[in-house]
Every structure is written in C-alpha cells, then in structure tokens.
Amino acid sequence: MRLQFILSEMFVGLRRNLSMAVSVILVTFVSLTFVGAAALLQAQISQVKDQWYDKVEVTIYLCPQDSEKPTCAGGEASQAQIDEIGQKLHSDALAPYVKKVYFETKQQAYESFEKRYANEWWAQSVTADQMQASYRVALVDPSQYQVISDTFTGHTGVDVVQDQRKVFEPLILVLNRATLISGGLAVVMLLAATLLITTTIRLSAMSRRRETGIMRLVGASNLFIQLPFMLEGAIAATIGAGLAVGGLWFGVRYLVQDWLATSVRWIPYIGAGDVWTVAPFLLAAAILLAAISSLVSLGRYTKV
C-alpha cells in the first residue's frame, strides 16, 4: 500500500510538471552525452597509443641521387657509408637504446610503395631508382628518439632522421583538446542539470504543500514524504542518461565505425563495447545528480 501511494504521488508530480520534467531529461541527456564523449575520446587516445605509439620506429633515410642536403654532397649514399651507419646502430654505445634494426633497400621500398598505392594513378610513374634506402630502428624506449637523432643527423650519407611518432602526436593533441572541451562543456551542463532538477523538485514540493502537511499530521516519516519527489528527479535523470547512452552508441556505430573506420583505416577505433563500458557510470552519475539535487531542494519544503 505504501509503495503504491509513493508511486502514485510520483506520477502525479511528473504529470503536473511535465514540461519541467522534459527539460530535466533533455539537459541531463546533453550533459551526460558530453561526459560520455570525453570518456570515449580518452578511450580512443588509449587505443591509438596502445596500438601505435610505442611501436613506431625511427627511420634514417639515406641520401638519394638528387638531394641538396650538405650531408649528401657526394650524391647517393655509398655502400661504405651504409655499412658505417649500420655498424654504429649495432655498436655498444647504442645497444641500450636500440631494440631492432631493419635495413630497407630501394627495391624493397619500391615494392612497399606499390602495395600501398597500387590504385593511385600518380604512383604509376614512380620507379625504384626514385626511392630512398633507409634504416628503420625500433627503440627500447620510444621517448629516447633524440639519442638516435643526435647521432645520425648531419652524418655523411644521411638525408634525414624521422621519428614516426610525429605523425601521431598532432592527432593525439587534437583528441586531448577535444576531451578538454567536452569535459568543460560537461561540467557546465551538469551544473545546469543540477539547478534544473533542484527547481523542478522544489516546484513539485511547493505545489503539494497541502498534501505533505496532511502527511506530517498523520505521522508520516520524513523519508516517506520526500521519496516521491526524489523518484521524480531520479526517473527524469535516468531517462536522460539512457538517451545519452543511445546517442553515444549511435555516434560510435555509424559515425566512427561505419564512416571514419572506412575512410581512415590506419587508426584503431573504439567500438560499441566501449559505450557499454561507459554506460553504467553515466547511469550512476544521473542517479547521483538527482540525489544531490533532492537533498538540496527538499529540506525546506518537506522537513518535519
């Protein structure tokens, strides 16, 4: 009987303040969408770092025929220069930094180029003689790139030393900034949601002061009086959280997996499973949001 009464009072409150309840749902939906987006962006950054960041190599490109670099004044790198660079890479001085060294000839570079750009019209005019031989160096600690760079930059026969991490750092920087923006917007929207839920519960409590007064006279407990109002906010916030989870799933499924993943294929992307990992935290945040709002607003209007 008590449960039935509490539920009936809750639905009465939602019906009386329907527009406010819808506003709570929408604001909660938007705010938790930003919270979820920030979490998913961090998951995406972790995916990129785990897959690529620690596996990228330092590439030492050897002088081609027509380079204008001072280190290539003698023309294409000679076999003696190539051997000298290889010996330095395998020396005891660099052993603590170098995990593995792989030498790629011009012909091997051309074969890799052909596989990668087989369907590009402009690639048909490229020949093996135009490619550069190179040493690809895997490091024990990728952050120690500068040791290799300092050793071989300016070395005779070396055209350029390139750290492949620089390809990924701009992407990671953009994702980190997007995370900060999403997090900032989420804080603002969560504050707005808290204020709106507080106002909604307060208006509902004010509109039923007569009923709550009668309940106090007949000896109803403070919790029994407050519970319908708390449930109103909790239900509206939970619906908003559910919509946020649905929106994030839609975005990951159709925008990330069906669009981005088919357009830019070298990046590992998050999936729908990551959304379901975030979902319980969003639901918990919605309930916590409603609980805090209820505690703030109900004391004045329903206390015994």
The 10s digit of each residue's pLDDT in 71-97 is 898 888 999 999 999 999 999 999 999
Compute the 3-state secondary structure of the chain and give helix, strand, coil in percent, each to the nearest 5.
70, 10, 20
Whether the Cβ atoms of residue 153 and residue 132 lie closer than 8 Å to each other: no
Percent of the chain with pLDDT over 70: 76
Among candidate residues 111, 68, 103, the one with its CA nearest the CA of residue 86: 103
For 153-172, write each residue's pLDDT tens digit: 889 999 998 877 776 677 66
| Token couple for 188 | 């603002």
- Range name among 14-23, 178-187, 235-244 with the lowest pLDDT average: 14-23
For 122-164, write each residue's pLDDT tens digit: 777 888 888 889 999 988 887 788 888 889 988 999 999 887 7
Tell me the CA distances in angstroms from 264 to 166, 260, 286, one per residue in order: 17, 6, 35
pLDDT at 104: 92
CA distance 132 to 286: 57
Torsion of CA 279, 282, 287, 288, to 10 degrees: 140
137: left (phi over 0), alpha (psi -120 to 50) or beta: beta
Whether the Cβ atoms of residue 223 and residue 1 lie closer than 8 Å to each other: no
Q: Cβ–Cβ contacts within 10 Å for residue 213, how many?
A: 11
pLDDT at 210: 62
pLDDT at 223 > cutoff 60: no
Q: Cβ–Cβ contacts within 10 Å for residue 72, how many?
A: 21
Q: What is the pTM of this model?
A: 0.62
pLDDT at 304: 42
CA distance 126 to 113: 9
pLDDT at 134: 93
**Mean pLDDT over residues 6-25, rounded?**
65
> Strand order of the sheet with strand 98-104?
98-104, 134-139, 58-62, 158-163
For 19-37, write each residue's pLDDT tens digit: 677 877 888 888 888 888 8
Among candidate residues 219, 237, 185, 212, the one with its CA nearest the CA of residue 299: 212
pLDDT at 121: 75
List of domains in the chain: 2-53+169-302 (no CATH), 58-163 (3.30.70.3040)
**Mean pLDDT over residues 247-251, rounded?**
93
Whether the Cβ atoms of residue 149 and residue 161 lie closer than 8 Å to each other: yes
